[in-house]
């Protein structure tokens, strides 16, 4: 698809005026804020001019139009470039530009998805936007192959990325580019603003690799152009669109701060205002009006016309989609539901139920639950960082239960390879495009993907992160593979809910909660080792997971409560049995979700953990951080405060005090 024929190419004079308008809107915004990055927008203005006037399809009247082109500014520090374009498009007002970087404005320092209309992804950390764009392009390919017909191409758009030298230096970009090249994502087009300047100076201080050759080796179509030559930019984009079996990188050589009389091409223009004198001189040099935030009338007129053309494109797609719905009732309803962000009616009924005969690791029950829901939730898709046999994340039930491969995209199982960092961002890109993604690895390797979790939380994305091998009970692999601080680290991220279920039925409800969430990510922490499935005729209903914590076992007159998560719930049950033989009366609380429990009404929380019941013991094979609020003044935490060791699971439990007899000893020693 090449939309160039749908939009009249502006004259060279007008195109040059648009580029200069971008330069000075950007410089004025940074100057007014007294902070920001003018250099990148000024250098990249010609690229933006060509991209938005000749290629990009969107509709400001319908900002979330499903078939719009996605445009990702991966070099997010250059946000005034994007904001200038969003002003031209009609998403932002001039007043918005004048409030750049101010509190509660629609023009924050870096573009933020959901807060700023027209922004397709939150792009702050360098290369994160690029990696998310790989997921968005993959989603487009998946949905196009699933739903398009010869008569109706309802999923048919490009994902464009503007990236910089910093994006290329970050290892994340290589992981993501490697995956995109392997998958042959032909509708992903990255424009690399190669200005050879970073904060400290010339990029050759630390970056001398041949980027072009690297991307060619990764399976990309690569072109090298003058980033200020409009016809060269347009020809390169058209050539990229014509290559359908490779993603494209357009290396555009630019001058940072182009137009600044003394600062252009220098590191000084990267991350600070030009200064009034330099800005005034830059405008005077080309006869530009001295007023701030000036937009020439003919530039306004051109984009007013563009908005009408874009609206017509969207309305034409609406007609195509309407005809598609009439011709393809089942698939059309499925796609319409995905676009609306809804799950099928009654999907919760697919939740499986397990019996006490079902002894298994929660990673194994997690795989069974995943497949039960996948059988009815067509938008559920994902994979593992080369650990599927261990994570148990292969979908074999329902539609599209095949592997995605180069040129074959209709499936839902993704080989992410050993690329945890990229995997998390790619999953976020899938979520941004309407799918309900999951991704999986060992809990300890959360360290590689924390930035992706944080951005998922910032964007309120419903990405599901599956982490197995969740404690020292990994055993012989030793401390490098045994998470200690990881649960606390994940819980520390706002908006993320971590659920650590104790058995198969808790897993089922944990997955239900994760899928029901539409406003934030969920992490599932699952065991490597087998666990009993509790007899729910004797213990509290597993549905209590939906409230984060619940009373699992209780007796009248209890003066001590054992609180535990995950596998340690069974340790609490065993320790309680020993204590009861000594005449103690106890309550056992299963607490799979600390944040979810904290979000419940106080009346419910006080029912589970009465304020008067101050003798509390928390059991979790990790550090105490995060549990302090539940311990109270007389509480005892039994867990770990140092790394684990290599050895059989039973030996480690004994050595680290995580056996029932040793738990009882600790409780008695503490005088509880």
CB environment 607-630: b (16+ within 10 A), e (fewer)? ebbeeebbbbbbbbbbbbebbeeb
C-alpha to C-alpha distance for 658 and 651, rounded to whole angstroms: 10
Q: Which one from 112, 140, 170, 420 is the annotated catalytic residue?
A: 420
Q: How many residues are given for the chain? A: 672
Phi first, then psi: what are they for 278, rounded to 5°? -65, -40
- Torsion angle of the four alpha carbons 464, 465, 466, 469, in this order, in degrees rounded to the nearest 10: -160
Residue pair 131/176 in contact by the 8 Å Cβ criterion: yes
Residue 198's H or E segment, with its range, is strand 197-198
CA distances from 163 to 177, 185, 263, 365 (A): 12, 17, 22, 41
By DSSP bridging, strand 530-531 and strand 360-361 are antiparallel
Contact (Cβ atoms closer than 8 angstroms) between residue 181 and residue 175: no
Q: How is the beta sheet containing 159-164 ordered, strand by strand? A: 70-73, 159-164, 188-194, 248-253, 221-226
HSE-up (13 A, CA, CB side) for residue 346: 1
Please give the full DSSP string across 202-225, using - where no structure is assigned: EGGGT----HHHHHHHTT-EEEEE
Alpha-carbon gap, residue 637 to 620, rounded angstroms: 8
Label residues 119-129 b or e (16+ Cβ within 10 Å = b): bbbbbbbbbbb
Are the CB atoms for 535 and 624 separated by under 8 Å?
no
The question of whether 420 is a catalytic residue gets the answer yes
CA distances from 327 to 153, 319, 350 (A): 12, 12, 29
Residues annotated catalytic, as ranges: 420
């Amino acid at each position: 698809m090449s939309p160039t024929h749908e939009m009249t190419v502006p004259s060279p004079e007008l195109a040059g005026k648009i580029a200069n308008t971008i330069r000075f809107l950007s410089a004025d915004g940074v100057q007014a804020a007294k902070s920001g990055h003018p250099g990148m927008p000024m250098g990249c203005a010609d690229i933006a001019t060509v991209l938005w006037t000749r290629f990009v399809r969107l509709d400001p009247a319908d900002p979330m139009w499903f078939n719009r082109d996605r445009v990702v500014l991966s070099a997010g520090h250059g946000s005034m470039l994007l904001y200038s374009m969003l002003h031209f498009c009609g998403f932002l007002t001039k007043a918005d530009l004048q409030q750049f970087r101010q509190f509660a404005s629609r023009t924050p320092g870096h573009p933020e998805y959901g807060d700023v209309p027209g922004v397709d992804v939150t792009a702050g950390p360098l290369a994160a936007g690029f990696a998310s764009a790989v997921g968005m392009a993959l989603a487009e390919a998946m949905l196009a192959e699933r739903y398009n017909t010869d008569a109706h191409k309802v999923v048919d758009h490009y994902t464009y990325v503007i990236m910089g030298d910093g994006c290329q230096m970050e290892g994340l970009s290589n992981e993501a580019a490697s995956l995109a090249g392997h998958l042959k994502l032909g509708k992903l087009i990255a424009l690399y603003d190669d200005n050879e300047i970073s904060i400290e100076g010339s990029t050759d201080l630390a970056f001398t690799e041949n980027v072009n050759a690297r991307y060619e080796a990764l399976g990309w179509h690569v072109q090298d152009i003058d980033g200020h030559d409009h016809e060269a930019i347009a020809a390169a984009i058209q050539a990229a669109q014509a290559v359908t079996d490779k993603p494209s990188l357009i290396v555009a050589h630019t001058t940072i701060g182009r137009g600044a009389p003394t600062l252009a091409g220098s590191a000084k223009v990267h991350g600070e205002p030009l200064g009034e004198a330099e800005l005034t001189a830059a405008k005077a040099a080309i006869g530009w009006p001295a007023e701030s935030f000036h937009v020439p009338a003919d530039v306004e007129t051109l984009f007013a016309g563009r908005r009408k053309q874009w609206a017509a494109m969207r309305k034409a797609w609406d007609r195509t989609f309407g005809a598609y719905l009439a011709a393809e009732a089942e698939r059309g309803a499925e796609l319409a539901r995905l676009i609306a962000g809804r799950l099928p009616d009654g999907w919760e009924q697919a939740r499986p139920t397990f019996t006490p005969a079902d002894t298994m690791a929660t990673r194994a029950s997690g795989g069974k639950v995943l497949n039960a829901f996948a059988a009815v939730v067509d938008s559920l898709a994902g994979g593992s960082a080369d650990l599927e046999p261990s994570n148990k994340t292969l979908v074999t039930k329902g539609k599209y239960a095949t592997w995605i491969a180069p040129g074959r995209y209709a499936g839902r199982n993704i080989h992410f390879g050993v690329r945890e960092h990229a995997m998390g961002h790619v999953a976020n890109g899938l979520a941004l495009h309407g799918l309900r993604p999951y991704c999986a690895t060992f809990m300890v390797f959360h360290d590689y993907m924390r930035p992706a979790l944080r951005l998922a939380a910032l964007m309120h994305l419903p990405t599901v992160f599956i982490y197995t091998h969740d404690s020292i009970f990994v055993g012989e692999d030793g401390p490098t593979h045994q998470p200690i601080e990881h649960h606390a680290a994940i819980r520390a991220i706002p908006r993320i809910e971590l659920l650590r279920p104790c058995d198969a039925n808790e897993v089922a409800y944990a997955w239900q909660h994760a899928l029901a969430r539409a406003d934030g990510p969920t992490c599932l922490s699952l065991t490597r080792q087998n666990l009993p499935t509790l007899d729910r005729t004797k213990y509290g209903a597993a549905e209590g997971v939906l409230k984060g914590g619940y009373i699992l076992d209780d007796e009248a007159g209890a003066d001590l409560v054992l609180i535990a998560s995950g596998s340690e719930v069974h340790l609490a049950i065993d320790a309680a049995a020993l204590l009861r033989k000594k005449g103690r009366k106890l309550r056992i609380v299963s607490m799979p979700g600390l944040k979810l429990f904290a979000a419940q009404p106080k009346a419910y929380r006080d029912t589970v953990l009465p304020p008067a019941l101050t003798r509390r013991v928390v059991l979790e094979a990790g550090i105490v951080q995060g549990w302090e609020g539940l311990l109270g003044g007389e509480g005892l935490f039994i867990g770990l405060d140092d790394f684990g060791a290599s050895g059989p699971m039973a030996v480690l439990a004994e050595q680290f005090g995580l056996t029932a007899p040793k738990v009882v000893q600790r409780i008695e020693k503490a005088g509880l």
